[in-house]
Structure 1
Amino acid sequence: MPGSDMPYPVKGPQRGSEIRAVLFDKDGTLFSYHETWGPILREAAAMAAEGDEGLVPRLLEAVGYNAATGRIGAGTVFAAGETVELATLWNKLGVKREVRRLVEDLDSLFAREAPRRSHPVTDLQVLFSTLRQRGLRLGLATNDGEASAFATIARFGLAEHLEFHCGYDSGYGAKPLPGMVNAFCAAVGVGPEAVAVVGDNSHDLDMGRAAGAGLLVGVLTGTSARGDLAPLADAVIDSIADLPMLLDERG
Structure 2
Amino acid sequence: MSGRSSSILLSSSIRGWGKLREASLRRIRPTLAVRDEQVRTFVSKSTKDDHVAGVWSPSAAIDHSPPPPAIAKAEESLKNASLVIFDKDGTLICFHSMWVPWALSTAERIEEASNLKESEIAKEVYRLLGFCPIEKKVRPGLLAEATMGEIRERLVHLLVEHGLESDKAIQVVDECVQDCDTTSSNTLKQIGNLKHMFEELRAHNVKIAVCTADSRRGTLGALRGLGLEQYIDIIVCGDDAGTQPKPSPHNALAICKAMGVEPADAFMVGDTLADMGMGRSAKLGGTIGVLSGVAKEVELSPMADHVVVDVGEALPILLKRRNPAGGAVRLS
SS in 2 for 1:9: helix
Corresponding residue number in structure 2 for 1:168: 238
The residue type equivalent to 1:5 in the other structure is P
Corresponding residue number in structure 1 for 2:289: 218
Measure, in 1, the Cα distance between the counterparts of 2:137 and 2:95: 9
Aligned pair 1:80/2:145, yes or no? yes
What whole-Å deviation, never above 9, does each CA across 1:148-175 have from its counterpart, x for those lacking one?
Answer: 1111121111121100001111122121
Unaligned runs of 5+ in 1: none
Measure, in 1, the Cα distance between the counterparts of 2:144 and 2:80: 31
Measure, in 2, the Cα distance between the counterparts of 1:232 and 1:146: 27
The residue type equivalent to 2:303 in the other structure is L
Corresponding residue number in structure 1 for 2:66: 5
- Say which is worse superposed, 169-178 or 87-96, in terms of deviation: 87-96
Corresponding residue number in structure 2 for 1:143: 213
Deviation, structure 1 residue 13: 7.3
Please tell me the root mean square deviation across aligned C-alpha atoms, in Å. Answer: 2.8
> Structure 1 residues 100 and 133 mapped into 2: Cα distance closer, same or farther (>3 Å)?
farther
Corresponding residue number in structure 2 for 1:122: 192
1:1-251 map, 5 Å: 5-6=66-67, 9=71, 18-49=80-111, 50=113, 52-53=116-117, 54-74=120-140, 76-94=141-159, 96=164, 97-99=168-170, 102=173, 106=177, 109-110=178-179, 112-114=180-182, 116=184, 117-171=187-241, 172-249=243-320
The residue type equivalent to 2:139 in the other structure is G
Deviation, structure 1 residue 100: 8.4
Measure, in 1, the Cα distance between the counterparts of 2:78 and 2:316: 18
Number of residues paired by the alignment? 247
> Structure 1 residues 242 and 210 mapped into 2: Cα distance closer, same or farther (>3 Å)?
same
SS in 2 for 1:102: helix
> Structure 1 residues 21 and 230 mapped into 2: Cα distance closer, same or farther (>3 Å)?
same
Measure, in 2, the Cα distance between the counterparts of 1:24 and 1:10: 24
Contact 2:159/2:169, CA 8 A, preserved across alignment: no
% identical equivalent positions = 24
Measure, in 1, the Cα distance between the counterparts of 2:183 and 2:300: 27
Contact 1:200/1:219, CA 8 A, preserved across alignment: yes
Which of the two has higher C-alpha Rg? 2
Deviation, structure 1 residue 124: 1.4
What whole-Å deviation, never above 9, does each CA across 1:126-158 have from its counterpart, x for those lacking one?
Answer: 111111111110010001111211111211111
TM-score by length of 1: 0.87
Deviation, structure 1 residue 16: 7.4
Unaligned runs of 5+ in 2: 1-52, 56-64, 323-332
Deviation, structure 1 residue 102: 3.0
SS in 2 for 1:143: coil
> Structure 1 residues 16 and 149 mapped into 2: Cα distance closer, same or farther (>3 Å)?
same
Measure, in 2, the Cα distance between the counterparts of 1:55 and 1:104: 16
What whole-Å deviation, never above 9, does each CA across 1:155-200 have from its counterpart, x for those lacking one?
Answer: 1111211000011111221211112212211222101111110000
SS in 1 for 2:246: coil
- Say which is worse superposed, 216-225 or 88-97, in terms of deviation: 88-97
Contact 2:98/2:188, CA 8 A, preserved across alignment: yes
TM-score by length of 2: 0.67
SS in 2 for 1:93: helix
Deviation, structure 1 residue 10: 7.8
